[in-house]
Amino acid sequence: MTKVMEKSKSIVITGHSLGGAAATLCTLWLLSFFHTKTHHHPILCITFGSPLIGNESLSRAIQRERWCGKFCHVVSNHDIMPRLLSTPLPSLSPKLHIIFRYWHLSMASPQFGKLATQLTEREKEELFYIVLAHSNTIFDLGEGSVQSQFWPFGNFFFCSEHGAICLDNAISVLKMLDLMLKTSAPNLSIEDHLNYGDHVKKVGVQYMERKNLNSLCLPNSSYEAGLALALESAGIPFQDEVAHMAEHSLRTASRIGQTPNMNAAKLAISLSKITPYRAEIEWYKTSCDEADNQLGYYDCFKKEDASVRHDRVNMNRHKLATFWNRVIDMWENNELPPDFNMRAKWVNASQFYKLLVEPLDIAEYYRRDTHIVHGHYLKCGRERRYEIFDKWWRGREVTEEGNTPRMKYASLTQDSCFWARLEEAKDLLEIIKRGDVRKLAPIWKSLENFERYARGLIERKEVSEDVIAKNSSYTLWAQELRALKLNM
């Protein structure tokens, strides 16, 4: 595979039947392999009659990585194979071996297929209705509450002799797998697994031709006409009983597909409504940095006694936390678009919030001496939302402008955990003051590491001016450290 990648500009992986499952797994491995690399080959996986291979957790993970567009699963309306392995195997095992051998030999040569052992008509009927009965359970649970052992991901291209439709909503895909099988028959469901070559040719020809509705009664609206055309393309008669359920599934897919984008739009409005809270904290930071006591933003909030100003900032801090926790909950519950965490608007907004507010969270943590009871902030006190925002920021697309050296100090310290690291360094310094320096080599090494790290941030101007304020915690710590070194 690595040799192929060296010679290729793009990679297309295909597979039929169980080979489709292998192609899918191979593609997932390649995507994971390229995930850590800056430049990588475009990858596309196309499967034909492949069974579902993953559960809902895998499907969600693939959505979050924005890999769904890398997969196109072609499924014939009569093919039983994509539904087959989702059925409990104990009831199918005796028949599976016969079917797989027949398919394998038939793909090698139609003449070989005739020599293979065949299922009797009765066995074909039993197999067909067992699979159909199991897939029917999807509808017993109601909309939005499907409990399937296997969960689809990517784009599903449902084809028939009349055309094709494409779906990417998991629940709608599961329902269409069931509904299209209802229009099939035992013999047809087995033989159609071998007809993907014909289906691809027909779809290609139909794409070049103008598609007309065969129904004499045309729907009044273009949306209804589109639904009718989709049903016909899927091989489902428009007036058939199954058509009503399929139509409902397509409507649901359309509605569900719009919901994440609608939620994102509503969140954008909510983001604008919380801007005044953020602006008040920014004003507070400016006033602290310009104060005569020269403490700076972090130390002012940590040492300030109860006051109207302090309480106001603290209240705004909690309001912002509530908003961003709601964003995280919606994102993790797939209520937002899969690429939400990659959108510049939200990556930048979450990063700015983290750089502005997390120093206040750290100050509050140490002001209340919470670290004495639970441990230091970085290991025991950091909110999960900040860790998620770190991942979003690391996953962004970095432009050349982002690597330009700074000419002045940053408006916000670029390491939102800088003050937490300083608090740990202050504790280490106290330990060394009370002990034998020669026996505290590991602690001394940790101190020197932080000193180099902080100096690097300052030299690159990646800190706010409050870090180097005359009476800031960092300035006082650095002075103590220098004095300790002189007395050694």
- Just list the catalytic residues: 17, 79, 193
What distance in Å separates the CA atoms of residue 363 and residue 89, rounded to the nearest whole number? 58
Question: Maximum CA pair distance of the chain?
Answer: 98
The rounded Cα 93 to chain-centroid distance in angstroms is 36
Q: Which residues contact 313 (CB under 8 A, 6 or more apart)?
A: 280, 281, 284, 301, 360
Q: Which of 285, 291, 309, 304 is nearest to 470 (CA)?
A: 291
What distance in Å separates the CA atoms of residue 189 and residue 17, rounded to the nearest whole number? 14
What distance in Å separates the CA atoms of residue 64 and residue 329, rounded to the nearest whole number? 14
End-to-end CA distance of the chain: 59
3-state secondary structure of 14: strand
Inter-CA distances, 48 with 74, 161, 200, Å: 5, 15, 10
Q: Do the Cβ atoms of 65 and 32 come closer than 8 Å?
A: no
**217: buried, middle or exposed (CB in 10 Å: 19+, 13-18, 0-12)?**
exposed
Q: Do the Cβ atoms of 235 and 161 come closer than 8 Å?
A: yes
Q: For 190-217, give the DSSP string.
A: HHGGG-HHHHHHHHHHHHHSPP----SS
3-state secondary structure of 26: helix
Q: How many CA atoms lie within 13 A of 43 on its CB side?
A: 26
What distance in Å separates the CA atoms of residue 388 and residue 36, rounded to the nearest whole number? 17
Q: Do the Cβ atoms of 234 and 227 come closer than 8 Å?
A: no
Q: Do the Cβ atoms of 383 and 416 come closer than 8 Å?
A: no
Q: Do the Cβ atoms of 267 and 327 come closer than 8 Å?
A: yes
Sign of CA dihedral 291, 295, 298, 300: negative
Q: Are strands 71-76 and 43-48 parallel, antiparallel or unpaired?
A: parallel
What distance in Å separates the CA atoms of residue 363 and residue 300, rounded to the nearest whole number? 9
Q: Are strands 155-160 and 163-167 parallel, antiparallel or unpaired?
A: antiparallel
